[in-house]
Amino acid sequence: MENFMQKEKNVKLKKFYILLGMLLILLIPIGFLSNIINERSAYKEEAVNAVQLSWANEQVINAPELMLGTNVENEYKPFKLNNYNAEIKISTEIRKKGVFKIPVYTANVFLKGTFKNNFGNLKNSKILFQYLVTDARGFVEQPKVKLLNKDYVSEESNKILKFLDIPNNEIPFEVSYKIRGINQINAVPAGITNSIKISGNWQNPSFVGNFLPTDKQINKNGFDAEWNIPAISLTELKSPTLGVQLLMPVDNYRMSTRAVKYAFLFLALTFLAYFIFEITSKKETPIHQLQYLMMGAAMLIFYLLLTSMSEFVSFCGSYIISALMTITLMSLYTFFVITHKQNIRFTIFISVIMALLYLFLYVLLALQDFSLILGSFGLFLIISLVMYATRNIEWYKDN
């Protein structure tokens, strides 16, 4: 009798160690899954670069500059930008490159303000006026410039070089143009007072840069944002910027990468459920280690299905389909192969457990800010249930 109990104990521990070894082996395909997702994400970056080549890069709308030429060639002294107002209205659209979707925009830019003249009355002076952007390829039409209430056209570049009479007071200017860009648009505040407005028809804007909007509205029709920035806020910033990033509703590759991080935990909990069933079942129902490996492989395919389908349908839709396919496969395998059609209750049990696990994972992915605390309480509940389920197992039996 003692030898029998010792043998039974050794079988349980041996099986546990075998399962632990198989879980470690399955870390290898989990690494492969991570590499596949990273490769797809890299392909998306290549698609973005391809669109940039034919459209334009992310644009930074710099504040106009007015400079006075000196007696030294190519040397200029700047006029101080006083009041600066910028109004940027963007119209967005989705460009497709293969299976990838890239948001692009066309922006109507209107810049207005005044410069301070600290040089006194100037007669027939060399004046350089320029309005720089990140990628001049994005200009859709010739910009219109009004300086000292006179209209000018810069035909070959975004600079105007003229010999002008400058009065000893404020120098007004206006600039308007249409420009293309991709993913993000920024503006640079550079005046003593700055009022910058950016609006568009994109429903998922992310406000970036050194300043958040002082006022914003986001609805199903788009967004409106306004920044009011005094010069004192710019004193400690070398290159102050503000702007809007056009976020896609869900970054499927980022979500898939986060999901794969939970793959080992899912495997461990599922294997543990089968292991507990195996050692607590009244009927001997041994599960071969190769069967554990096949079930582990089926669960890992879930992440491949999730990544591939999310390139064509929404992440939520692809997650539901992938989870249902995996749960169905595991349930059928459990009923027909593991229990040999003898234990429908365990099949239902394992289906419910897996459904709860996938629901738990989706909640963690969706609620990123609360994922740590939810994950902590979830794991505490899981380990509590495991301890309760194994409360009557005699791991060691004293004489």
Distance (Å, whole) CA 359 – CA 221: 32
Residue 246 phi, psi dihedral angles, 5° rounding: -90, 95
Residue 398 has pLDDT above 50, yes or no: no
**Do residue 204 and residue 344 come from a single domain?**
no
Residue 156 has pLDDT above 70, yes or no: no
**Do residue 81 and residue 151 come from a single domain?**
yes
Mean pLDDT, range 237-241, rounded to an integer: 89
- The DSSP bridge pattern shows strands 205-209 and 242-246 to be antiparallel
Each residue's pLDDT tens digit, 176-190: 999 999 999 999 999
Q: Is residue 103 part of a domain?
A: yes
Q: Is residue 106 part of a domain?
A: yes
Distance (Å, whole) CA 22 – CA 194: 62
Residue 155 phi, psi dihedral angles, 5° rounding: -80, -30
Counted domains in the chain: 2
Each residue's pLDDT tens digit, 202-222: 988 999 999 999 999 999 899
CATH code of 136's domain: 2.60.40
- The pLDDT value given to residue 4: 46
**Do residue 88 and residue 30 come from a single domain?**
no
**Do residue 286 and residue 234 come from a single domain?**
no
- The pLDDT value given to residue 319: 94
Mean pLDDT, range 17-29, rounded to an integer: 89
**Do residue 177 and residue 274 come from a single domain?**
no
Average pLDDT, the chain: 87
Mean pLDDT, range 357-370, rounded to an integer: 83
Q: Is residue 397 part of a domain?
A: no
Residue 374 has pLDDT above 90, yes or no: no
Residue 173 has pLDDT above 80, yes or no: yes
**Do residue 91 and residue 237 come from a single domain?**
yes
Residue 19 has pLDDT above 90, yes or no: no
Each residue's pLDDT tens digit, 311-335: 888 889 999 999 999 999 999 999 9
Residue 230 has pLDDT above 90, yes or no: yes
Radius of gyration in angstroms for the set of CA atoms belonging to the chain, rounded to a whole number: 32
Each residue's pLDDT tens digit, 101-118: 888 999 999 999 999 988
What band does 249 get if pLDDT is binned at 50, 70 and 90?
Answer: low
Mean pLDDT, range 291-314, rounded to an integer: 92
Residue 147 has pLDDT above 70, yes or no: yes
Distance (Å, whole) CA 36 – CA 307: 9
Mean pLDDT, range 377-388, rounded to an integer: 82
Which of these three, 190, 222, 249, is where a domain ends? 249
Residue ranges making up the domain that contains 286:
2-42+253-389
**Do residue 237 and residue 294 come from a single domain?**
no
What band does 399 get if pLDDT is binned at 50, 70 and 90?
Answer: very low
- The pLDDT value given to residue 45: 85
Distance (Å, whole) CA 179 – CA 59: 8
Which of these three, 249, 283, 315, is where a domain ends? 249
**Do residue 78 and residue 37 come from a single domain?**
no
- The pLDDT value given to residue 396: 61
- The pLDDT value given to residue 7: 52
**Do residue 260 and residue 240 come from a single domain?**
no
Q: Is residue 399 part of a domain?
A: no
Distance (Å, whole) CA 128 – CA 206: 35
Q: Is residue 49 part of a domain?
A: no
Q: Is residue 51 part of a domain?
A: no
Which residues lie below 8 Å from residue 2, measured CB to CB, with a gap of 6+? 399
- The pLDDT value given to residue 9: 53
Each residue's pLDDT tens digit, 340-361: 888 898 899 899 989 999 998 8
Higher-confidence residue of 282 and 15: namely 15
Q: Is residue 47 part of a domain?
A: no
Q: Could you give the percent of the chain with pLDDT greater than 90?
A: 48
What band does 5 get if pLDDT is binned at 50, 70 and 90?
Answer: very low
- The pLDDT value given to residue 363: 87
Residue 228 has pLDDT above 90, yes or no: yes
Mean pLDDT, range 116-135, rounded to an integer: 89
- The pLDDT value given to residue 239: 86
**Do residue 178 and residue 306 come from a single domain?**
no
Which of these three, 233, 249, 265, is where a domain ends? 249
Q: Is residue 194 part of a domain?
A: yes
**Do residue 64 and residue 78 come from a single domain?**
yes
Mean pLDDT, range 29-53, rounded to an integer: 88
**Do residue 28 and residue 91 come from a single domain?**
no
